Structure 1
Amino acid sequence: MHSPFMVCVVQAAPVYLDLERSVDKALTLIEQAAGDGAKLIAFPELWLPGYPWWVWLNGIEWAHQKGLSQRYLEQALDFEGLQAGRIARAAADHRIQVLMGTAEREGEHLYIAQWLVDETGRTLLRRRKLKPGPLELKVFGEGGAQDLPVVNTALGRVGALACAEHRHPLLKHAMHLQHETLHVAAWPSFALNQAPGMLSADTFLAISRTYAVEGGCYVLAPCAPLPAEVVALVCDTPDKALRLHAGGGHAQIFAPDGEPMCTPLAPTQEGLLFAQVDPQIVTRARNAFDLSGHSSRSDVVRLQGPTDLGKLPLPEGAR
């Protein structure tokens, strides 16, 4: 696709731990985005059925006792189930690509997943977070070597990573080598009260911005505000309430030169952010600096794995 087109990112909360009602809300957002001209909509990390904040606050035993662990498992998305089918049909009905962040259920196991459905309702990408954080590992399993795909779409080459995967230089480089034009950097909510800078919105927005410059691609960074009622649910003591706050929505879209393209919403505000993508801008950025091409020194350093990413072929039509 060589003509400019519109994309959007979600800054909205799901209906916490309620898969069906969250999908209802997702379908409304998909319809709204398509009605406003977007060709792709990107959702935050673990938007379905919400992020399990108790891993940072209470530990797994507390969640077991409260019934939240079982509820989370039951409300995670089964890709063969009814709710996944509703999302795919909505993408086809509204002729829009949907990149959903979800907890994936496979039997009794959970994974942090990202799922791209194209404008015909066809699945183009399903990936799992390679290395959930130390606390997240108490809930979610790890992904594998197959979970770093960049895929051809009608809008260009699309890839995705989740949250702290963007702090891992080798994972990022593996994506850059596959000639992304659109990258979805999915975040949950920046709602934890931690040491300054450690888990701040400014820090992670800077990481998304850097990704755009390094990769010479557009970066869509969806992020969900955390509702006060969710804080009340998982913070049952005053000391826990001091560690988590409502809000934390900081969605943005970055151009290949790193410039933010949207006026931010307030951290507690819900909505969609839109930006126009111009494939020619990607070409210009790659002419100036191209990690997968003329700016590479694969003769000196090369990323190798099950596939030699240093020798990936160019996608069809690329130069």
Structure 2
Amino acid sequence: MSSPPSYRVAVVQAAPVFMDRSATIDKCIQMMAEASAKGARLIAFPENFIPGYPWFFWLGSPAWAMQYMVKYHEQALVIDSADYRRLEQAAAEFKIFVSAGFTEKSNGSLYMAQTLIDDQGQTLATRRKLKPTVAERMVFGEGDGSDLQVHDSDLGRVGALCCWEHIQPLTKFAMYSQHEQLHVAAWPGFSLYNQVTQAISGDVNNAVTRTYAVEGQCFVLAPCGMVSDDVIDLLCQTDESRSLLKAGGGYARIYGPDGSQLATPLATDEEGILYADIDLDAVTLAKVAADPVGHYSRSDVTRLLFNSEARRPVADAALDDADALALVEELQSR
């Protein structure tokens, strides 16, 4: 597929309207309109932006955190719902591609999800985070190999991952193997546990994001969430919790395939949109130096086994006779 050589992208640094799905979608649509007016072809939103990241599971016991879970489920976004279609309709109205992080509700389960919607309002793909991180595992289910996808579009080959999926080398290599040109690295914000560990600091994770650009020779858009004062008031009810979570935490960035920083960062407590004009020819030039799944690889020494099959808990398709016979034979051999 031929791709335009250059276009403008937009990356969001902002806080959602916490645990208010409709109001946060309103905010998304306002930012989509602003980015479109400034010539952006794509806008990227942070991890779990709709209806907000579940900070509460990092701040107390599971029993304490459960007080927020019913509302969090109620405010999660269902794919193809009326609220979800509002995002599609706005993408079509403003002629802009949208990559949005959201909490997906699927019946009784929640997932850390991302969507890619084109400028005609058509959803090209949705995906789920493969492995929620630490406290996230008490809230979210897991994705599968089908969630490691790179998609052809009018903007080139576009992919996305969430947060600490970017520190998993095999996950990254699975994405690189699909010849990604534009990558969305969505983050929830970096104002949690700042005095506890550097591992989830903005500086460390920006380094991870930048490394992805250089390793994969692709443009990386890194939208980043923030913690607003009202979230502190709601969730931080003790001196300990106030020491663990702070307001702010914005570290949005845009990187080129050579690791260059393409937009001036905002202050960590400042909401806004970063913009950059990108030229896909820069991907070609970076690949000349090092293509990790081509001329710069050594497949005779190391290779990746990648199962891209969807493995949902329930399969709707009935087994045909051959499948049924194979299943019986497998069970008998055990």
CA distance in 1, matches of 2:224, 2:36: 19
CA distance in 2, matches of 1:12, 1:180: 26
Give SS of 2:24's match: helix
SS at match of 1:103: strand
CA RMSD of aligned residues (A): 1.1
- Gap runs ≥5 in structure 2: 310-334
The runs of 5 or more residues in structure 1 that have no matched partner are 309-319
* 2:103 matched residue in structure 1: 103
Deviation at 1:306, TM superposition (A): 2.2
Summarize the alignment of residues 1-319 of structure 1 with structure 2, pairs less than 5 Å apart. Answer: 1-64=3-66, 66=67, 68-192=68-192, 193-307=194-308
Q: Specify the code of the residue in structure 2 equivalent to 1:273.
A: L
AA aligned opposite 2:209? S
**Distance in 2 between the 1:266 and 1:117 partners?**
29
User: What is the SS of the residue equivalent to 2:103?
Assistant: strand
Superposed CA offset, 1:140-179 (max 9, x none): 0001111100000100000011001101000000001110
Which TM-score applies when normalising by structure 1? Answer: 0.94
For this pair of structures, how many residues does the alignment match?
Answer: 306
Structure 1 residue 134: deviation in Å? 2.2
Shift of 1:196: 4.8
Give the secondary structure class of the aligned counterpart of 1:198: helix
Distance 1:291 1:141 in 2: 31
Offset at residue 197 of structure 1 (A): 2.0
The corresponding residue for 1:312 is: none
Partner amino acid for 2:27?
K
Shift of 1:307: 4.9
One-letter amino acid of the structure 1 residue matched with residue 105 of structure 2: R
Decide whether the 8 Å contact of 2:102 with 2:114 is kept in 1.
yes
Over 3 Å counting, the alpha-carbon distance change for 1:203 and 1:298 in structure 2 is: same
Return structure 1 stretches of 4+ with deviation > 6 angstroms: none
- Is 2:91–2:117's contact at 8 Å kept on the other side of the alignment? yes
Following the alignment from structure 2 to structure 1, what is the Cα–Cα distance between the partners of residues 198 and 241?
Answer: 20
* % identity of equivalent residues: 48
CA distance in 1 between counterparts of 2:141 and 2:225 reads 23
Larger Rg: 2
| Alpha-carbon distance in 2 for matches of 1:149, 1:225 | 27
Amino acid of the residue matched to residue 115 of structure 1? Answer: T
